[in-house]
């Protein structure tokens, strides 16, 4: 018993508490009704009578040491709190609260919306799950076009009875589908952009992802010409990439536009001299565009004799990667705070 008491004495002397809860635990352990000290006193019964007095004194010492320790620590903790209170200086600036920052893709999307809003474009959105008609057929994709192939498209459901076009439902592969919905539901003239998320069955790499974002644009009115398209997109390019940005249009092919083109801008890094970003060509491709094919207008019940229009589509990731010189598309989706924090903070 003596050894046990000695051990407890050591434990009590060494004890210190960082908070009230810890101190209370200590008090309960040693001094509560069922604590160590009272139970040692209860064991006095078993001590030989001639040793009882000595043992009693010893146990009293244990009890007093424990009580003193509790008192002592209580006072220290209280005085610490007092000093903390006394040290509060109300004139000090508040503690810094870290602000979040907007995702780079949102920054660029908002900027694109802002630029086109200034020349009269409205903004609307369409569904991410699309039927074959809006994603392909109405956009003049021939039946056997490779883009309908399983390789590009995530099909969700095949042939449910109540859907048009053999009932194929897919995740939209581009925001051009929203052109169709807009033309079906609105009268010309139309001047709108459609930002949104798109999906393609592609292997994920530094340059490609199976989920990405596009902004589609559509302008339908009487007498809209290719010159209008060029001027509008030139305006966009200079607003987005800076005064002095040059544009060039290369002939291309999209089923829903005729003629079709891809627009390049002069490399804003090297000014056209040639660098890594433009692969030493002086130009970087930023979007696809063209005059809306009359078949597409007719598919949406717009009189193609009266109205003409242009459309364009760009990848938000691509523009963001160029603008901020980001070389791996996966950065956008990993949500590493060290990456995200580098862009402008929330406004
Ligand atoms: N939908 C095309 C794509 O995803 C982009 C595009 C090209 C949209 C030309 C257009 C356009 O509206 O006219 O690659």
Q: What is the pLDDT of residues 169-182, one digit of tens each?
A: 899 999 999 999 99
Q: Which numbered atom of ligand 1 lies nearest the CA of 214?
A: 4
Gyration radius of the chain over CA positions? 37
Res. 136: pLDDT tops 60: yes
Contact in structure between 254 and 136 (CB atoms under 8 Å): no
Cα 125 to middle of ligand 1, angstroms = 16
Contact in structure between 148 and 141 (CB atoms under 8 Å): yes
Res. 159: pLDDT tops 90: no
Q: Among 104-118, 225-239, 246-260, 268-282, where is mean pLDDT lowest?
A: 268-282
197, β-bridge pairs? 213
Q: For tokens 């040059």, what's the residue?
A: 246
**Span 322-327, average pLDDT:** 90
Binding site membership of 212 for ligand 1 (Cβ less than 6 Å): no
Enter the tokens of residue 80: 């610490």
Res. 160: pLDDT tops 70: no
Buried b (16+ CB within 10 A) or exposed e, 323-343: eeebeebebbeeeeeeebeeb
Between CA 41 and CA 49, with CA 43 as vertex, the angle to 5 degrees is 95
How many Cα atoms occupy the beta-carbon half-sphere of 304 within 13 Å? 14
CA-nearest residue, atom 6 of ligand 1: 313
Binding site membership of 288 for ligand 1 (Cβ less than 6 Å): yes
Q: Which numbered atom of ligand 1 lies nearest the CA of 176?
A: 1
pLDDT in tens, 57-82: 889 999 999 999 999 999 988 888 87
Tell me the fold of 104-346.
Answer: BirA Bifunctional Protein; domain 2 (3.30.930)
**Span 4-17, average pLDDT:** 90
CB neighbour list of residue 21: distance below 8 Å, 6 or more residues apart: none
At residue 47, the pLDDT reads: 86
At residue 213, the pLDDT reads: 98
**Span 305-331, average pLDDT:** 95
Query: Which one is predicted more confidently, 252 or 144?
Result: 252
Instruction: Calculate the alpha carbon distances from 89 to 4, 78, 92, 263 in Å.
Output: 49, 20, 6, 60
Cα 165 to middle of ligand 1, angstroms = 22
- What is the full DSSP assignment across 230-278? HHHHHHHHHHHH-TT--EEEEEEEETTEEEEEEEEEE-TTTTTS--TTT
Longest dimension (CA), the chain: 122
Binding site membership of 257 for ligand 1 (Cβ less than 6 Å): yes
Local confidence band at 274 (pLDDT 50, 70, 90 cut-offs): confident
Helix (H/G/I), strand (E/B), else coil: 94: coil
Binding site membership of 172 for ligand 1 (Cβ less than 6 Å): no
At residue 98, the pLDDT reads: 80
Contact in structure between 290 and 311 (CB atoms under 8 Å): yes
- Return the domain boundaries, the chain: 2-86, 104-346
Q: Tell me how far the alpha carbon of residue 250 is from its chain's centroid.
A: 34
Cα 96 to middle of ligand 1, angstroms = 45
Binding site membership of 254 for ligand 1 (Cβ less than 6 Å): yes
Hey, which of 175, 289, 292, 308 would you mutate to test ligand 1's pocket, going by the most ligand atoms within 8 Å of its Cβ? 289
At residue 52, the pLDDT reads: 85
DSSP E strands: which ranges in the chain? Answer: 122-123, 129-131, 155-157, 169-171, 190-199, 211-221, 247-254, 257-266, 283-292, 308-315
Local confidence band at 292 (pLDDT 50, 70, 90 cut-offs): very high
Mean pLDDT of the chain: 90
DSSP 137: G
Instruction: Calculate the alpha carbon distances from 287 to 93, 171, 273, 290, 327 in Å.
Output: 48, 21, 21, 10, 18
Phi-psi domain of 166 (left: phi exceeds 0; alpha: psi -120 through 50; beta: other): left
CA-nearest residue, atom 8 of ligand 1: 313
Local confidence band at 347 (pLDDT 50, 70, 90 cut-offs): very low
**Span 302-328, average pLDDT:** 95
Q: For tokens 């040793």, what's the residue?
A: 51
pLDDT in tens, 190-235: 999 999 999 999 999 998 999 999 999 999 999 999 999 999 999 9
Nearest to 284 by CA among 298, 270, 297, 294: 270
Nearest to 182 by CA among 282, 292, 274, 314: 292
Q: Is the preceding peptide bond at 189 cis, omega within 30 degrees of 0?
A: yes
pTM of the predicted model over 0.75:
no
Hey, which of 172, 174, 202, 259 would you mutate to test ligand 1's pocket, going by the most ligand atoms within 8 Å of its Cβ? 174
Res. 150: pLDDT tops 70: no
Q: Helices 316-324 and 226-241, interaxial angle, to 10°?
A: 40
């Amino acid at each position: 018993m003596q050894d046990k008491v000695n051990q407890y004495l050591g434990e009590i002397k060494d004890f210190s508490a960082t908070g009230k809860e810890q101190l209370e635990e200590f008090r309960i352990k040693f001094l509560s009704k069922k604590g160590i000290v009272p139970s040692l006193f209860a064991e006095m019964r078993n001590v030989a009578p001639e040793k009882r007095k000595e043992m009693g004194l010893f146990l009293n010492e244990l009890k007093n040491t424990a009580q003193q320790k509790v008192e002592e620590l209580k006072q220290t903790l209280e005085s610490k709190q007092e000093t903390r209170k006394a040290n509060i200086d109300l004139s000090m600036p508040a503690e810094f609260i870290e602000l979040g920052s907007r995702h780079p893709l949102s920054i660029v999307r908002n900027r694109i919306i802002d630029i086109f809003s200034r020349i009269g474009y409205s903004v609307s959105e369409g569904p991410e799950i699309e039927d074959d008609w809006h994603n392909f057929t109405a956009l003049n994709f021939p039946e056997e076009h490779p883009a309908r192939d399983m390789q590009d498209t995530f099909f969700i459901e095949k042939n449910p009875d109540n859907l048009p076009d053999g009932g194929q439902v897919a995740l939209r592969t581009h925001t051009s589908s929203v052109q169709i919905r807009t033309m079906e539901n609105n009268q010309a003239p139309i001047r709108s952009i459609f930002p949104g998320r798109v999906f393609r069955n592609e292997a994920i790499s530094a340059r490609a992802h199976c989920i990405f974002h596009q902004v589609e644009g559509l302008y339908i009115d009487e007498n809209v010409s290719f010159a209008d398209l060029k001027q509008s997109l030139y305006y966009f390019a200079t607003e987005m990439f800076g005064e002095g940005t040059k544009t060039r249009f290369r002939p291309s092919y999209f089923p829903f536009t005729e003629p079709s083109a891809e627009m390049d801008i002069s490399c804003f890094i090297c000014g056209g001299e040639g660098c890594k970003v433009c692969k030493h060509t002086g130009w970087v491709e930023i979007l696809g565009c063209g005059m809306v094919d009359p078949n597409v207008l007719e598919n949406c019940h717009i009189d193609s004799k009266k109205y003409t229009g242009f459309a364009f589509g760009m990848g938000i990731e691509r523009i963001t990667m160029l603008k901020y010189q980001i070389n791996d598309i996966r950065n956008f989706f990993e949500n590493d705070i060290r990456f995200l924090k580098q862009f402008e903070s929330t406004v």
